[in-house]
Amino acid sequence: MRYNLLGRTGLYLSELCLGTMTFGGKGFWEVVGKLGQTEAEALVGTALDGGVNFIDTADVYSEGESERLLGAALKSLARPREQIVVATKVRGTTGKGINQVGLSRSHILASIEQSLQRLQLDHVDLYQIHGFDPVTPIEETVRALDDVVRSGKARYVGFSNLPAWLAMKALEFAKANGLARFQSAQLYYSIAGRDSERELAPMAQSEGISILPWSPLAGGLLSGKFEPEKPGPEGARRTKYDFPPVDAGRLSRVLPALRQVSSETGHSVARLALAWLLTRPFVSSVLIGAKTREQLLDNLAAADVTLTPEQITALDAASALPPEYPGWMLERQNTQKRGVLPK
């Protein structure tokens, strides 16, 4: 297991992060996973034994049950707190009240208290906004997050699922006012969905933001169990819930390329999809989720995979994004020599 710095901080994260969306199974989240305390504790222990020091959850996962199960697992395992990086998120609906949703100062300050109570911790290491709130000014959100950091209830802050322009606006506001800045961006990113490379990845590299990909197996489509344009296996999450959206044409190119490398190396398709993400220079830690110890061990083995330059090139080509403006114009302009007029 290798470790990378979180943004512009001195905190190291394992390059694989245990995601806990499969913990609990309450409400909507039943489709993702229904792991109870025994199973959750076993997965957390396996991940920590495998070199993972980074665990991610959210206040809305299984209506708070994911946080409760993770907190109980950490307490039972009794590993040194300073050796574990715990992250959670705020933005989603946590109750029936009109103010129990969003990124207002009120909801953020209430939510961090509730998350810490469920986690049985006095602080989290990374507190992330879970998306965009069209009602609350981003300035209010940034100031509230700074208060959370200054109170000692979070060490760092990050964002998830924001457009690049809004993340940049928040960064500049934090810089101008001496407030805690975003250090991470948790984004949907996989070899079957590379849209984040258009704007978010360049912004993150420019500003020293760590990218933390979620759903690196595209909701199970890259698990090796699916075929393009065919029904998935019985009981699989993807067969019940078509998320995240994946372009079928791109998937039909990506899966054969992954299977070709799998036949060359003996590694599973899922392991290779994760290993490809770890070749991206802007990726700091990839979120992996599992329902069984066997799945988790296979995913953890991605940290030991070394892809050849030729294999990386083949996978890059199969998964390449279609040209889109202004990208194709920028590429055209910057392939011309200075002083030479275009024909």
Active site residues: 61
What percent of the residues of the chain are helix, what percent strand, and what percent coil, each to the nearest 5? 45, 15, 40
Sequence-distant (≥ 6) Cβ neighbours of residue 337 within 8 angstroms:
none
- Cα 84 to Cα 45, 233, 296, distances in angstroms: 12, 35, 18
Please state, as a whole number, how many other Cβ atoms lie within 10 Å of the Cβ of residue 110: 17
**DSSP secondary structure string, 117-153?**
HHHT-S-EEEEEE-S--SSS-HHHHHHHHHHHHHTTS
Contact 184, 128 (CB under 8 A): yes
Contact 91, 133 (CB under 8 A): yes
Task: Identify the burial level of 226 via C-beta atoms within 10 angstroms of its C-beta, where 0-12 means exposed, 13-18 middle and 19 or more buried.
Answer: buried
Length of the chain: 343
Nearest alpha-carbon partner for 47 in 289, 273, 309, 316: 289
Task: Identify the burial level of 102 via C-beta atoms within 10 angstroms of its C-beta, where 0-12 means exposed, 13-18 middle and 19 or more buried.
Answer: buried
- Backbone region of residue 63 per phi and psi (left: phi > 0; alpha: psi in -120 to 50; beta: other values): left
Distance CA(51)–CA(35), nearest Å, equals 22
Distance CA(253)–CA(80), nearest Å, equals 45
Contact 53, 84 (CB under 8 A): yes
